[in-house]
Amino acid sequence: MESAEKILGRFKKLKTLPHVALRLNRLLSDHRSTVQDFEKIIEMDPTLVVRLLRIANSSYFGQQHTIDSISRALMLVGMRNLHGMIFTSALRDIFEQDSGEEYFSRARLWLHSTAVGICSKMISELIFGRIGEDAYLCGILHDIGLIVEDQVMPELFLEVCQTYDKSSGTFPEHEQKILGTDHCELGYLLAREWGLPESVQEGIRSHHQMNGEHSPDSPASIIQVADALVSELNYTVIAGMDGMLSPDLTQYIVSNVNEYKALVKALPDEMEKAKELFDQREE
């Protein structure tokens, strides 16, 4: 069995983030960056310029006058939303180039990941009163390791999907038996390689942990809860891979059930709204 590092090395030879996305991510990690710094890089990618201007002029922001410059669009959309937009745009093609297999669909994974991202953002903002963009980013990337496995070792990954039974444990435990690693570890290493915030890295690595080590407001717990909630709405990756909650988180949800019922009720509408912000398509 190959190590997670070797598997990731093979993946990076197949797929990398566009250099513009990587450079923008570095700017977002540097508090000294200015709007002008972002403008210089964004204008190198005509597709990204079009997407940014479409978002700024969408009904989501309700502007009375047309936004026709990158700098004005950036000021309106905001740097935190830009982070989510960059990665959503850069990753969509990787997710949606469907593998065509009965047991696993990249298009279905994209829908699941988007739903978890949006639900995570809602939990962060509505339940814990925090800015939710990092939670969105963590949610949409939480299963990126599955793409790594699907592209680097498709036959073994298909075996994982075909033989998984949640009665025998978590999905990562099943991956470890067949692959020697799991999508959480691979996703964590990729997020670290991309220089994403440490909270995002940790949320990706720990979102399947069942040992109760993480508080309910931690990134890992938020992703775990969001995963379970969207699974109830049938946004699953493969059959039988429903979201699983640790005993501590289960008790926490029971104690706050009304808040989470209201959140689940609002989730479909929030997903529709998010299409305005994160799912603008080129014609």
pLDDT-flagged residues of the chain (< 70):
1, 14-18, 80, 93, 96-102, 239-240, 274-283
In the chain, where the domains are located: 4-15+99-278
Task: Check: CB of residue 57 under 8 Å from CB of residue 67.
Answer: yes
Whole-number pLDDT of residue 229: 92
pLDDT in tens, 47-102: 778 878 888 887 777 787 898 899 898 888 887 677 777 777 777 767 766 555 66
Distance CA 158, CA 106 (A): 12
Whole-number pLDDT of residue 122: 93
* Cα-Cα-Cα-Cα dihedral sign, residues 191, 115, 263, 270: positive
Dig out the tokens for 26 from the structure. Answer: 């570095």
Distance CA 279, CA 142 (A): 18
Distance CA 97, CA 116 (A): 20
Whole-number pLDDT of residue 31: 83
In single-letter form, the type of residue at position 192 comes to R
Whole-number pLDDT of residue 243: 80
Task: Check: CB of residue 225 under 8 Å from CB of residue 244.
Answer: no
Tell me how crowded residue 162 is: count the other CB atoms within 10 A of its CB.
12
Whole-number pLDDT of residue 98: 57
Architecture of domain 4-15+99-278: Orthogonal Bundle (1.10)
pTM of the shown model: 0.82
Task: Check: CB of residue 223 under 8 Å from CB of residue 123.
Answer: no
Whole-number pLDDT of residue 283: 42
Whole-Å CA distances, 39 to 52, 79, 102, 129: 11, 12, 43, 31
pLDDT in tens, 112-131: 998 999 999 999 999 999 98
